Amino acid sequence: MKSENVHGGLEMTAAMLISGTIGWFVLQSGLPVLQVVFWRCAIGLLALLVICWSLGLFAKARFTLPLLGLAVAGGVAIVLNWLLLFEAYPRASISVATVVYNTQPFMLTAIGMTVFGERPSLQKTGWLVISFLGVVLIISSRPESAHGTSYVGTDYGTGIALALGAAALYAIAAAVTKKLRGIPPHLIALVQVATGMVILAPFASFSDLPQTGAAWGSLITLGFVHTGIMYALLYGAIQKLPTTLTAALSYIYPLAAIAVDRFAFGVELQPVQIAGAAAIILAAAGVSLGWRLLPLRTASRCQWSGPAGRTGNCILISHLAAAPSRTKRSGDPGSPV
């Protein structure tokens, strides 16, 4: 394996492990979600300013007014995505919310169908059905706590809906970002968190600041580590790795979140939920990596090649059950929170 792939793999793994711990810091802050997202944007903005300056990216900024408008629109979607996902944690649990959030590739498929008129292949439709069944299995039961008490609220269904909404908003942000080709991704992230800070500032409570060092520590970690450092690692990995490897490593994120939820809060998924989570992750990986769900099939067809009145040649033709999509894969490898 090339040293660049090894380096990129380590960066991607670190980025996904960091992403898997974000729910723990959100809950440990003890603050309302709106406050958490505002401070993540504000502190993340400082971190990304330093990173962009150190990488010399400001000299490469080629934002036109339309491109800047697209970046701001993507920022609105990203910030709303954070708000919904963070609200889903205490309702559905970090584990369940994160797994449901990973239905993003299918949200992108839906956007491609409704906005761009794309027709998903039979393979992708099959993975979509499996993912939907996985969500149904997760909803059918609630996680339990090994400690006897759980932080998961009574509005479990609302938490599932919030996680699905967050996935849809992330898909919108990803679709917008695809239009920003040629703009360094770190700068796009910088515009996104700046947008979030501006739109949330009127609603943030500056008179009710965190009162403990632990709360401030959680907010600073969310800003510098989960936003600045994580984005730098993620984009550095994407530049070094093949798309398939990036997509494969991105599924460390939900697995890490499940492990954090288990060891930090004692949350245990029920067997039916484990099956549902496996179905969603498998389906999302299948779409992102282009796995074939349906096997090859062989059909015999006679093609007439001789003149009239003579026997034609019978040719055995092997073909796919469904042709692979010719459009760009709609999975978005490395989906940060």
Residue 320: predicted pLDDT: 30
CA distance readout (Å), 233 to 52, 91, 218: 13, 30, 20
Residue 41: predicted pLDDT: 96
CB contact at 8 A, 108 and 122? no
Q: What is the 3-state secondary structure (H, E, C) of 245-303?
A: HHHHHCCHHHHHHHHHHHHHHCEECCHHHHHHHHHHHHHHHHHHHCCCCCCCEEEEEEE
Residue 237: predicted pLDDT: 86
CA distance readout (Å), 70 to 41, 42, 179, 195: 18, 21, 8, 11
Most distant CA atoms of the chain, gap in Å: 94
Residue 304: predicted pLDDT: 41
What does the alpha-carbon distance between residue 269 and residue 258 come to, in Å, rounded to a whole number? 9
| Residue 176 host element (H or E) | helix 156-177
Whether 308 shows a pLDDT value over 50: the answer reads no
Dump pLDDT digits (tens) for 33-85.
999 999 999 999 999 999 999 989 888 777 888 889 999 999 999 999 999 99
Residue 78: predicted pLDDT: 94
Residue 148: predicted pLDDT: 57
| Residue 226 host element (H or E) | none
Residue 115: predicted pLDDT: 75
| Residue 117 host element (H or E) | none
Whether 118 shows a pLDDT value over 90: the answer reads no
Q: Which residue has the higher pLDDT, 139 or 151?
A: 139
Whether 154 shows a pLDDT value over 80: the answer reads no
Residue-by-residue DSSP string for 61-102: ----HHHHHHHHHHHHHHHHHHHHHHHHHHHH-HHHHHHHHT
Please, what is the average pLDDT of the chain?
A: 82
Whether 152 shows a pLDDT value over 60: the answer reads yes
* Span 25-36, average pLDDT: 94
Candidates 331, 289, 286, 11; CA nearest to 167 is 331
Confidence of residue 302 (pLDDT cuts 50, 70, 90): very low
Of the ranges 177-186, 225-234, 238-247, the best mean pLDDT one = 225-234
